[in-house]
Amino acid sequence: MITVEFLGPIQKPVLSMEASTLREVAEVLKQDPSLAEWIENCAVAVNDTLVGSLDTLLKEGDKVSLLPPVCGG
């Protein structure tokens, strides 16, 4: 089981799910219309380390974080 946390304006509770790659996580999240728009634009971290590939392997207990783009000034 892995956990998925949604940071910033996404406003979703932490989700627990079974997945072995980030690609599997993305496919599940795309089924929620309110999340689909974020999937393409978010940075993703696994256990607080940014990753760039949907082929990233996940293991039991991993934490996936979706980090939406932000603007500052």
| pLDDT of res. 35 | 87
pTM of this structure: 0.89
| pLDDT of res. 66 | 94
User: What are the φ and ψ backbone dihedral angles of 49, each rounded to 5 degrees?
Assistant: -120, 125
For the chain, the first-to-last Cα distance in angstroms comes to 39
| pLDDT of res. 8 | 87
Closest CA to 45 of 22, 20, 12: 22
pLDDT in tens, 15-67: 999 999 999 999 999 999 888 888 888 999 999 999 989 999 999 999 999 99
Instruction: Give the homologous superfamily in CATH for domain 2-67.
Output: Beta-grasp domain (3.10.20.30)
